[in-house]
Amino acid sequence: MTKIDLKKELSSFYNPKKSVVNIVDVPPFYYLMIDGQGDPNVSPSYKQAL
């Protein structure tokens, strides 16, 4: 599996210039989300969801 470094490949999104305002088109990305509540460090439902 090839490792992708998005901070390197898309540095303009992650490290923008502070003196310039730009409108950018963000490409589609895949995201993982776990829905829940409470502290993930101690919540049993968080561990179960993982």
Q: What DSSP line would sit under the chain, residue for residue? A: -----HHHHTHHHHS--TT------PPP---------S-TTT-HHHHHH-
Question: In the structure, what pLDDT confidence band is assigned to residue 26 with cuts at 50, 70 and 90?
Answer: confident
For 46, counting Cβ atoms within 10 Å of its Cβ (0-12 exposed, 13-18 middle, 19+ buried), the class is middle
State percent of the chain over pLDDT 90.
0
pTM of the entire predicted model:
0.39
Listed by start position, the domains of the chain span 1-50
Q: Which of 25, 1, 3 is nearest to 12 (CA)?
A: 25
pLDDT in tens, 8-25: 888 878 888 788 888 888
